[in-house]
Amino acid sequence: MIELHNVSKIFGDALAVDEISFSVPKGKFCALVGTSGCGKSTTLRMINRLTEHSSGDIILDGQAVGAYNPVQLRRRIGYVIQDTGLFPHWNVARNIGTVPRLLKWPASQIRGRVEELMQFLDLPSAEFAHKYPHQLSGGQAQRVGVARALAADPDILLMDEPFGALDPITREKLQSMLAKLQARLHKTVVLVTHDMDEALRLADHLVVMREGKIVQQGSPLALLQKPENGFVDSLLGGLERGLKQASLSRVRAHMTPLGPTLPAQSRIPDTYTLRQALSVMLRDHCERLTVVDKHDVPVGELSLRKLVKEAHAQPGERA
């Protein structure tokens, strides 16, 4: 559990972070979103005390961060940064084992943990354990960065634009890896990003920042349905908001039982998002789709007309 109450940070006479408050319950994923220089990275660094806050309270598991020894505090918080910050003179295995070694785990336990994490992050140990960071691709290096952050099994994970320097395809892959990882590990995560799609995709709670202040915070759906002002709206993609919202919900939640009419020709799996379903409708020129489960058995149907009506009839329900 991370709580920030009226936290400010002053550098010289510049106010970098201005009286912000938000909290991340245990096991939840929070994204700090905003343009560069809005104070989101500073906010993140105040949580593990790489930057000391000027006023307000930052509380971790019920205790003010100032009460922890900074070194001990950082060892129990995973930290991932954009340019990976991997130690270039250590091989992958040694990099991943950094924090366990600082915590003086027995060598055999460190070895086991490193093996486990490499397998978990799809880095075959035989191939990668002895490589050095300069021998890795950007995506591989950042997976090592994530593994290193997770090594001592911290409850909290802080990620500072972890995928910002990667090409779109690799970024997409690592995002889904992170989503899978979070579904399994339930860490308390704070992610800093300027990529709204990344935030919408991964986070349970979004905090939109601008010039050191919080402009709006809430669940992805809440923000998409009711952006506070033009800034949030433009971050959310303006006119594309409808589609982004559609990409947040699954076909399964919107399908209707199979009716007496002939089933539609086009079939989609029930795990698709509404956005993907709409795309299939446009591609196949049809208003109705047959929804099938993973055994390809029809379980329902999706109708464009009903979807549009539903969105019109219950605008408040999903807020």
Partner 1 sequence: MNSPGVQRLNGAVHPGRWLMPVVWLLLLMLAVWAMPLVEPALRWFSPDARQVIYQRAAFSTLLWRHVLTVGVAAAVTVSVGIAAGIAVTRPWGRDFLPLVSQCAALGQTFPPVAVLALAVPALGFGALPIVVALVLYGLLPIVRNTLAGLQGVDAGVVSAAQGMGMTGRQRLYRVELPLAAPVILAGVRTSITINIATAALGATVGASNLGDPIIAGIVNGNTAYIVQGAVIIALLALSVDSLFDVWQRQLARR
Q: Are 86 and 144 in contact (CB under 8 A)?
A: yes
Dist CA 302 CA 286 (whole Å):
11
Residue 183 binds partner 1, judged by CB under 8 A: no
Member of 31, 81, 96, 200 binding partner 1 (CB under 8 A): 81
Member of 42, 43, 84, 247 binding partner 1 (CB under 8 A): 84
Per-residue contact flags (x/-) with partner 1 for residues 30 to 69, judged by CB under 8 A: ------------------x-x-------------------
Pairing of β 288-292 and β 267-269: parallel
Member of 5, 25, 87, 242 binding partner 1 (CB under 8 A): 87
Measured from the CB atom, the residue of 69 and 261 that comes closer to partner 1 is 69
User: Residue 258 Cβ, how far from partner 1 at the closest point, in Å?
Assistant: 54
Member of 67, 71, 169, 183 binding partner 1 (CB under 8 A): 71
Dist CA 161 CA 156 (whole Å):
16
User: Residue 193 Cβ, how far from partner 1 at the closest point, in Å?
Assistant: 17
Q: Are 198 and 120 in contact (CB under 8 A)?
A: no
Q: Which stretch binds partner 1 (CB under 8 A): 77-85, 211-219, 222-230, 266-274?
A: 77-85
User: Residue 49 Cβ, how far from partner 1 at the closest point, in Å?
Assistant: 10
Dist CA 202 CA 44 (whole Å):
17
Sequence-distant (6+) residues with CB within 8 A of 104 are none
Q: Which residues pair with 186 in a beta bridge?
A: none
Residue 148 binds partner 1, judged by CB under 8 A: yes
Q: Is the dihedral of CA 279, 282, 287, 289 positive or negative?
A: negative
Q: Are 214 and 205 in contact (CB under 8 A)?
A: no
Q: Which residues pair with 24 in a beta bridge?
A: 2
Q: Are 270 and 295 in contact (CB under 8 A)?
A: no
User: Residue 185 Cβ, how far from partner 1 at the closest point, in Å?
Assistant: 19
Residue 89 binds partner 1, judged by CB under 8 A: yes
Helix (H) or strand (E) holding 18, with range, is strand 14-24
User: Residue 117 Cβ, how far from partner 1 at the closest point, in Å?
Assistant: 14
Q: Which stretch binds partner 1 (CB under 8 A): 127-135, 203-211, 225-233, 300-308?
A: 127-135
**DSSP H helices in 23-121:** 40-47, 70-75, 92-96, 98-102, 107-120
Q: Which stretch binds partner 1 (CB under 8 A): 30-38, 122-130, 218-226, 253-261?
A: 122-130
Sequence-distant (6+) residues with CB within 8 A of 109 are 100
Residue 138 binds partner 1, judged by CB under 8 A: no
User: Looking only at residues 90 through 109 of this chain, which bind partner 1 when binding is defined by CB under 8 A?
Assistant: 91, 93, 98-99, 102
Q: List contacts with partner 1 (CB under 8 A).
A: 48, 50, 71-76, 79, 81-89, 91, 93, 98-99, 102, 111, 126, 129-130, 132, 148
